[in-house]
Amino acid sequence: MGDRRDRRAIDLVSHSSLHTERLGERLGRSTRPNDVFALWGELGAGKTVLARGVASGLGIDPSDISSPTFIIFREHGGGRLPFFHVEAGGVTVIEWPDRAGDALPDDRLDVRLEHIADTKRRVVISATGRRSERFVEELRSSVVGA
């Protein structure tokens, strides 16, 4: 059946920005206070698109979400939990988490996005601790088991 590390990650392919946003929505619907999502990927990989989905899953209008690249920090209200969208270090979504270094929490959900083709992205979602393992297991059940 594979080792424990295999169960702590899920490897998906998103075929469009809408698919990436819907994946974020699933994560947003499952989130609890103080959850942290670290979004890794090059410029244009889909980090902000996924963040819009997380916001939507929290009940926040996704059109209010923009990249924090030049503003460092944005806070969005109006949903069931506050949503903090930060470049580096409610629910916290961190773009460019490599800039946070040791400030990243030990238990977070790492979401790595990479270009496969013009509209296709590889999305690898990994748990870094027990709390974030719940997300991987729920996502595996709802996406892979469907």
| Whole-number pLDDT of residue 6 | 63
Q: What fold characterizes domain 24-144?
A: Rossmann fold (3.40.50)
101-105 average pLDDT score: 84
Q: Please check the confidence at residue 1 and state whether its pLDDT lies above 60.
A: no
| Whole-number pLDDT of residue 44 | 87
Angle (CA) 21 133 58, round 5°: 35
Given phi > 0 = left and psi -120 to 50 = alpha, else beta, which region is 138? Answer: alpha
Token reading at 54? 């997380």
pTM: 0.74
What confidence tens digit (pLDDT) does each residue in 11-61 have? 989 999 999 999 999 999 888 888 899 999 988 899 989 999 999 999 999
110-133 average pLDDT score: 92
